[in-house]
């Protein structure tokens, strides 16, 4: 009984901490592995240890705000993947099955995005680990001595309801600072979009 109480207490504390924001900027990020949307595939963060940085994009094909960012994210990928930045998309995967792997693959193919690294967080473990609360929401991870630390988290830019960004491009600014080994002025910006369901 005592062991059960200890386990439940630890779970509750972990759940509370993740719900309050997950990793803090500057903290080390633990490795994780998730299945790919394609059958029998699996990717882990540690596979990208040769990259200068990784951008995690929490995404959903049923969120209209996420769809508005597809073209913008493609443009950033085209610019920064050749400079040592990897982009990983994570679908927190609705518990009610609104987004099956087949539906996601069909959407990615239709949008010419089938080349994306697209992972499914069925149990919401990684979503909770990072404290993601909206889609789309991004997390820039910087490679420091073969370990990843959180460099930026939050909004992609300041124009979630338009096709093109206005003036504040938080993700792009973060990538420029990372590659230039410069301090980042805005390290956290609250994301706008579709709310991620409770874990």
Q: Please report, for the domain that includes residue 60, its CATH number.
A: 3.40.30.10
**Please, which pLDDT band fits residue 49 given cuts at 50, 70 and 90?**
very high
Instruction: Return the top range by mean pLDDT from 98-102, 186-190, 193-197.
Output: 186-190
Using CA atoms, how far apart are residues 168 and 79, in angstroms rounded to an integer?
Answer: 18
Burial (CB count within 10 angstroms: exposed 0-12, middle 13-18, buried 19+), residue 121: buried
pLDDT at 156 over 90: yes
Q: What is the mean pLDDT of the chain?
A: 85
Give the range of the structural domain holding residue 50, as residue numbers without chain letter: 2-195
CA 128 to chain centre: 11
- Number of domain units in the chain: 1
Element (H, E) at 12: helix 2-19
| 55-64, 153-162, 186-195: least confidently modelled range | 153-162
70: Cβ–Cβ under 8 A, 6 or more apart, which residues? Answer: 111, 113
Report pLDDT digits (tens) over 1-38: 444 333 333 333 333 333 446 999 999 999 999 999 98
């Amino acid at each position: 009984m005592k062991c059960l109480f200890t386990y439940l207490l630890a779970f509750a504390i972990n759940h509370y901490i993740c719900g309050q924001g997950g990793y803090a900027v500057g903290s080390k990020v633990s490795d994780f592995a998730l299945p790919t949307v394609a059958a029998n595939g699996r990717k882990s963060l540690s596979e990208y240890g040769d990259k200068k940085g990784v951008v995690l994009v929490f995404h959903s094909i049923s969120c209209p705000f996420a769809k508005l960012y597809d073209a913008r994210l493609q443009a950033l990928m085209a610019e920064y993947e050749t400079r040592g930045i990897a982009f990983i998309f994570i679908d927190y995967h609705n518990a009610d099955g609104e987004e099956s792997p087949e539906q996601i693959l069909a959407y990615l193919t239709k949008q010419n995005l089938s080349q994306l690294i697209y992972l499914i967080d069925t149990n919401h473990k990684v979503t909770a680990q990072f404290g993601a609360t909206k889609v789309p929401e991004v997390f820039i991870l910087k490679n420091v001595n073969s370990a990843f630390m959180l460099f930026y988290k939050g909004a992609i830019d300041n124009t979630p309801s338009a096709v093109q960004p206005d003036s504040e491009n938080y993700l792009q600014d973060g990538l420029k600072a990372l590659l230039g080994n410069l301090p980042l002025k805005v390290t956290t910006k609250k994301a706008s979009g579709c709310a991620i369901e409770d874990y």
